[in-house]
Structure 1
C-alpha cells in the first residue's frame, strides 16, 4: 500500500503496485499449484527412468505417479491394490507451503496499491484487498488441483477429491493469504493495533516450535547414525541398484518431516505407534514385524528401554523455558502480566500447533497392522500444551524478574 512505502507519491504512480487484482490473483494461485506439480511430475519421470530405464510402462504412467504424489501431499490418500494409504508426505506439503508463501508475498506486493491507504485503514475504512486476493488465489489453485485429480485418478488409485480441495483451501488461505497480507503491507498495519504482549507471544511460539522441531530432527539423525548399519542392511536386502537406491532415498525424504514429528512425540512422552498394538515411548517399546524401510532403523530395540530415557520428558519443559527467556531478552519488559502472557500464551499455542502436526503426520501405510501408524495425537497434544505452556510461563517470569533486577541496578 502506498502510505507504508518510502515515497507515497512515487508509489502511487508506480504501476507495479496497481496491476489487475483479479487476473493476477487467479493466475498466481494457478501458478503456485503448477510450480510444485511440475516438480512432482518431473520426479515421477526421473524415477521411471532410474528404476528400469523406461523399459516398462509409458511416460504417462510416470506422470500419473508424480501427480498422485502431489495429490497425496494435499491429503488425498490413494489405494494400492485395494489397500488404502492415507499418510500425508509432509515433505511435499512443506514444498507446497513454501511455494505458496513466496508467490503470495510477491502477489501481495503487486496488488498493494489497491484499496485504501494506511491512514484510511487506521480511520476505520474497510479494506477488502487481502480477502479478495486470497479468495481468488485459492480459486485458481483449486482449479488446478481438480484438473490434476481428473487426470491422475482411476478406479484403482481412488484419491479423495474432497480432501484435496479442503487441504488446498486451508493451505492457500493460511499460508498464501498470510504471504499476501505481508507482501501488501496490511499485516504490518494489523499487527500495530495488537497489544505488544500478544505480538511477543507469537514470537515465543515461533521460537519454541522451531527449536523443538530442530531438537527432534537432531535426535532422529543421531538415532539413524547409531543404527546406520541396520539401514544399509535394509537397502541391501531390497536388492536395489544405484537408480533404485536414489528413488528410494527421494521417497524417504518426502516423509522425513513425518519422522521428525514422530521423534518430537517420542521426546514429549506419549510416543507413537508403528502398527496396531505397538508403542514407542521413553518408558516402553513394544514392536512387532516391521516393513523394510530404512527410516525405521532409528527405532529403539524392542523391550524395556534404558532407565535414562525416562528423563527425556524434561526436555520440552527446559526448551520452552530457555526459548522464552531468549525471546524476551530481545524485547525486555518489567511488567509481570506481560511476561506471563508472553510465555504462557506462546507456549500453549506452540503446543497446539505441534498437536496439529502430530494429527497430520500419521495414517495408514499398508494392510493389516500398518493401518495405524503415527503419534498418539490426543496425548501428544496434552503433553505439548502442558510442557510448553508451563515452561513458557516459568521462562516469562524468570526473564521478567531478571530484567526488573537489572533495571533497579541501573
Structure 2
C-alpha cells in the first residue's frame, strides 16, 4: 500500500518534470495536508480493522454479532478512542480511555506531517536585511516567518483530518454506542495540529533547532516545564511498576478469576499496557498530594486510602489497601519539589536576567505552566466508566493543577533566583554591574547562536541563501608593484571562465595565486 501511495503522490511531479515545468509540480500546502490526512486515516483504520477481524475470527459469536459491518464499526470506535473521544452507552458514558492508544495515530500523523512538509516544498523567503536593520531584528523576522509557516502547516493537516473524523464518528454510531461528535472534532484537530506542527518544525534540522522558533524567555519556560513534568512522570511510572511488582500475586488472582482464555488474556494484557500511561499520571497526582478516586466516595492519597468496590481490571489490584498510608508514602511528596528545583535551574540557565528580583518570578511562572500541564494530563487520564459510582474515576484536574503549581513554583522560584544570582550577580571587585551583565549576556547569546545553528542543507535555512548576496572579495593591491604583477599574471592565466548561462555559480578569483574556485550554493537542491 505504501508503494502504491508513493507512486500516486509522485506521478504529477514526474509528468511535469518531463514537460520541463518543475516549479508547478509542487502542490499547494492545503492539498498536501488533505492527502496526508487521508493517508493517516486510511492506514490507521486498515491496521485496526485487521486486528479487529482477527478477534472476530477467534470468537465469531462474541461481541461482533453484526458480522463484518460490526467489525468495521468496532474498528472505527477504537480509532475514535485512540484520539480520546468519549461515547455514550445506556445508563452512562465512557470517558476514561487508555492514553497509550494515542501512540498509533500520533506516529502516523507525525510521518504524514513530514511528508506534507517535503511534498509542499515549504520555504521561508526572508527579505534581504537592510543596512539599518540589526542582526537581532533580522533573526526575529526570520523566526516569526518560520513560526507562521509551522502554524499554517499544522492547520492544513488538522482541518481536513477533523472533518474526516466527523464522518467516522457518524459511521460508528449504533443503538448501543454513540460517540460524542464534538469531542471527536476537537480531539482530532488538537492531535493533528500538535503533531503536524512538530513534524514541520522538525524539518528545520535537529531537535534543538526547533526551540529557536521561540523567543528566549518562552523557550526557558517550555524547557523548565518539560523538565519538571518529565521528572514527575518518570517517578510516577517507577512508582506504578514498583506497586505492580509488590502486588503481582493479587493481579494474577484477579486475572484468573476473569478466565479470559488465550486470546482474551492477550487482549487484556494489551489493554492494561495501554493504561500504564494513565496510571503514571495518577501516580503524579498521588505524589502531588490530592491523589485520585476509583469511584464515588473513594480516595487514594499519601494521607490515607479509602476504597470500595473497584472495576474488575487486574491492573487495579496494585492499589493499596484501605486505611492509613504507611510512613514511607509521605516521602514521595518531595518529588514535585525536587522537580521544581531542576526546573528553576533550567529556567535561569537558558535565560538569565539582569534583574535579580525578576528571576524568582520567572521560576514561579514555570511552576504555573507546569501546574496547567499537569492539570490537563489529569483531565485526560480520568473520566467516567459507566454510570452510578463509576462516574468519578481519576484525579481532580483543578486540585492537581493547584498543588503542582504551588509545589513546583515555590521550589523553582528559589532555585532560579539562586542560580541567576550565581550567573549574573557575582562579579569581580570594582567592575560595574551593568557592564558585567551586558558582557555576560553577549557571550551567552553568541554561544547559544553557535550551538543552536541548524545543520546546513535544510529547507528553512537553505532558502535564506536565495536572498542573501554572496560577497566576492578582490584584493588587487594596486600600490604593490610585485603583487600587481602577480595579480595580472593570475588573471591572464585563469584556469576556466565562468560557465555561461549559470548565474548561480559565483566566480571567486584569488588574485594572489591565480586559482579559480567555483562555488555552487544550490548544489544541495540539485539531484
Q: Does 1:257 align with 2:277?
A: yes
Cα distance in 2 for residues equivalent to 1:136 and 1:195: 24
Q: Does 1:135 align with 2:155?
A: yes
Which whole-Å deviations, capped at 9, do the CAs of 1:83-129 have from their partners, x for residues lacking one?
42122321223432343234224423443545633758828997864
Which whole-Å deviations, capped at 9, do the CAs of 1:166-216 have from their partners, x for residues lacking one?
11122222332343344368x999965854233122111111111211111
Aligned length: 395
Answer with 336-345 or 101-110: which moved more.
336-345
Q: Which residue of the partner structure matches residue 42 of structure 2?
A: 34
Change in 2 beyond 3 A, CA 1:134/1:237 = same
Counterpart contact for 2:144–2:213, Cα < 8 Å: no
Q: Does 1:25 align with 2:33?
A: yes
Q: Which residue of the partner structure matches residue 220 of structure 1?
A: 240
Q: Which residue of the partner structure matches residue 233 of structure 1?
A: 253
Answer with 14-23 or 28-37: which moved more.
14-23
Q: Which residue of the partner structure matches residue 63 of structure 1?
A: 72
* Higher-Rg member (1/2): 2
Answer with 281-290 or 82-91: which moved more.
82-91
Change in 2 beyond 3 A, CA 1:43/1:210 = farther
Q: Which residue of the partner structure matches residue 196 of structure 2?
A: 176
Distance apart, 1:337 and its partner CA: 5.7
Which whole-Å deviations, capped at 9, do the CAs of 1:288-312 have from their partners, x for residues lacking one?
0112211101211111111332332
Counterpart mapping for 1:262-341 below 5 A: 262-325=282-345, 331=350, 333=352, 335=354, 336=356, 339-340=359-360
- Aligned to 2:51, which of 38, 43, 48? 43
Q: Does 1:95 align with 2:135?
A: no
Change in 2 beyond 3 A, CA 1:253/1:189 = closer
- Aligned to 1:362, which of 377, 382, 385? 382
Cα distance in 1 for residues equivalent to 2:143 and 2:258: 65
- Aligned to 1:104, which of 97, 107, 113? 113
Cα distance in 1 for residues equivalent to 2:409 and 2:263: 47
Distance apart, 1:406 and its partner CA: 8.2
Cα distance in 2 for residues equivalent to 1:318 and 1:246: 39
Cα distance in 1 for residues equivalent to 2:97 and 2:181: 14
Answer with 218-227 or 390-399: which moved more.
390-399
Which whole-Å deviations, capped at 9, do the CAs of 1:59-83 have from their partners, x for residues lacking one?
4323322211111233432344544
Change in 2 beyond 3 A, CA 1:103/1:124 = closer
TM-score, structure 2 as length reference:
0.67
Q: Which runs of 5+ in 2 are unaligned?
A: 1-20, 130-137, 430-527
Change in 2 beyond 3 A, CA 1:270/1:189 = closer
Change in 2 beyond 3 A, CA 1:68/1:399 = same
Cα distance in 2 for residues equivalent to 1:332 and 1:50: 58
Which whole-Å deviations, capped at 9, do the CAs of 1:337-391 have from their partners, x for residues lacking one?
6743653333321221110111121111123211110102211110011112222
Change in 2 beyond 3 A, CA 1:395/1:34 = farther
Structure showing the higher helix proportion among its residues: 1
TM-score, structure 1 as length reference:
0.84
Which whole-Å deviations, capped at 9, do the CAs of 1:207-227 have from their partners, x for residues lacking one?
111121111111111111110
Q: Which residue of the partner structure matches residue 371 of structure 1?
A: 391
Counterpart contact for 1:317–1:391, Cα < 8 Å: yes
Answer with 67-76 or 203-212: which moved more.
67-76
Q: Which residue of the partner structure matches residue 171 of structure 2?
A: 151
Cα distance in 2 for residues equivalent to 1:89 and 1:83: 18
- Aligned to 2:87, which of 75, 78, 91? 78
Q: Which residue of the partner structure matches residue 5 of structure 1?
A: none
Q: Which runs of 5+ in 1 are unaligned?
A: 1-12
Distance apart, 1:251 and its partner CA: 1.6
- Aligned to 2:126, which of 86, 101, 117? 117
Cα distance in 1 for residues equivalent to 2:249 and 2:210: 53
Distance apart, 1:138 and its partner CA: 1.8
Change in 2 beyond 3 A, CA 1:243/1:18 = same
